[in-house]
Chains A and B, each alone.
Chain A
């Protein structure tokens, strides 16, 4: 790597004193003291002890002294065969959980041989077209003994059905399966935009999985309520916190309307946050999230089971913070972001690879990312005591500010009629787009610095990256043709008919989805059947 001998761009001047703000633009004082906290601040009441309400300091009394977070690297590319190899490699290197990245056609419910899939198959993740692919993906990996997370949203119920049947074929009992389905459709409308159906039928599918999970797969998290994508789309830390928790409340409210009892499903709701570069702002966000969730679950929804009120979360370091320029310096960014997640009490963690801004990770880059977590866990000593930052005037003050700001957003969204209504009115979308534009302007003026981009710029040789060619689409298409020839066509058609009928009625769609999967209906056929009943959603293009 060439050293940046001639930095270009101007880092902020030290004199006169610069205006200090967090990455999200929140002003920060020069010094925090006891006087920075409210007069009625009571540490025992407002912060308390780890493992006890209000859970600010963590949801377990001993945290990482007893058990480290799960090192769960999000991974998937090309064919199920190639991704299966990568999973076995990562597990052999000490990774402790799996996390499946699907390609865009799968995320959008298209088969690999659909016209819309051209150029996209296997590019952003693994291509899964049918149960056959799901079985290949986990070949030789005992699903009952490992926890598996799946990043899938609009077609989540169908993909989960494939997972459940693949596990069943391995001989695994559904009641023993642990893992997480992302299945958070609200943040798709808000931020990531991978939606198929309109909000109401989409919410119904989510509640179907929540209800089915509570009855048949009680150790599986049916929804991972995600702020990650909201943040990546350009939100502030506060918006990430507020919109994510309000999304969670929306799922609770729709489940209650289905007639479920809060303590029957709420313990299985889990969260997923971003770990961005502003160290203390991120830690305050996680601490405030736990406090807020505990408060709304008890006060607003009457949860009695402490597990309904203890917010568990996965964290991923901020992809958007990583640079294509001087990519090796991303290792330092990821390490600091991961440290914030750990000091914030995360339950599992994905560390991004240094080539994140260029391509899906090479094996070498993915290994460094995993090793970064192992260094934090085993070398830095931060796991020796619980919540080592608790009691910091700055951090406690920031945690209170986050809590207050999130409550203000809750009120605004409630006034709009809830999160589905707010999404339909474009409220969170506009808030995020405005924040993204403000941040980009701060970068343009040099008010915010991104090393290697607007300061300390240097030329550097290109990095070797993973390249996925078009052969994946050809191979997947061939497998699909063979599958359609081999399967019992009448049985597949009957299963799809039954799914359409279930979707038209009020019954839970999971049993019909499982029957479709067992009959080897493809993902594209299943989503087409649902689309025929639910219709397709298109958002109004807003700049």
Chain B
């Protein structure tokens, strides 16, 4: 990254009722340490809150952390709201416990990648770096 290039902006969000935020916080710190700008939403965000934060913060990537099994209800709704707000080019990745058949469904919904337990921070960081939309030219 050149000095002038805009930093990759990532929204790390924790939707649903689940409060297990170890993974979300560790990933958020790792992305920040890797030079990205990270906004962490905190707990119990609705899809509406996530889409609106993504728009407001003008992020390039949204990372959703879901360990409760509620991904099938939550993720498609987030994707729908992003499309409705014209944020089709925002990269969405999911971290958590997602059965393979559900991961395939999330991929059809437009999710870029699902990172299961045990994923390395390096792999997550590298994936986001190589898959976000081309950063706008620096002023």
Contact = CB atoms under 8 A, between A and B. Distances in A.
B109 interface: no
Interface stretch (B1-9, B11-19, B79-87, B128-136): B11-19
User: Could you tell me the dominant secondary structure of chain A's interface residues?
Assistant: loop
Interface in B32-73: 32, 38, 40-43, 68-73
B99 A359 contact: yes
A539 B70 contact: no
Given A357-B117, A358-B99, A118 B19 contact: no
B117 A108 contact: no
A436 interface: yes
B108 interface: no
B45 to A, nearest CB: 10
Contacts of B21: 193, 233
Contact of A325 (B22, B29, B118): B118
A543 B19 contact: no
Which interface class (under 10, 10 to 19, 20 to 34, 35 or more) fits B?
Answer: 20 to 34
Interface string B112-130: 0000111011100000000
Nearest to A323: B118
A415 interface: no
Contacts of B139: none
Which interface class (under 10, 10 to 19, 20 to 34, 35 or more) fits A?
Answer: 35 or more
Contact of B70 (A108, A123, A357): A123
Contacts of B29: 433, 437, 543
Contact of B100 (A450, A462, A470, A542): A462
Most A C-beta atoms less than 10 A away, residue of B22, B74, B120: B22
B25 A192 contact: no
A444 B121 contact: yes
A178 interface: no
Contact of B73 (A118, A195, A436, A462): A118
Contacts of B99: 358-359, 465, 467
B33 to A, nearest CB: 9
B73 A324 contact: no
Contact of B68 (A123, A188, A232, A358): A123
Contacts of A440: 26, 30, 121
Interface in A427-459: 433, 436-437, 440-441, 443-444, 450, 452-454
B22 A193 contact: no
Contacts of A194: 19
A120 interface: yes
Interface string A189-219: 0001111000000000000000000000000
A92 to B, nearest CB: 28
A245 interface: no
A104 interface: yes
Nearest to B40: A543
Interface in A381-422: none
A34 interface: no
A468 interface: yes
Interface string A317-347: 0001001110000000000000000000000
A499 B97 CA distance: 39
Contact of A541 (B43, B70, B73, B120): B43
Given A437-B29, A440-B30, A462-B100, A104 B18 contact: yes
Interface of B: 16-22, 25-26, 28-30, 32, 38, 40-43, 68-74, 97, 99-100, 116-118, 120-122
* List of 3 A-B pairs having minimum Cβ-Cβ separation, nearest first: A119-B73, A193-B19, A541-B42
25 contacts: A104-B68, A118-B70, A119-B74, A120-B69, A123-B69, A193-B19, A193-B20, A232-B20, A234-B26, A324-B117, A357-B97, A357-B117, A359-B69, A359-B97, A436-B22, A436-B25, A440-B30, A440-B121, A441-B121, A444-B122, A450-B118, A453-B118, A541-B40, A541-B42, A543-B38
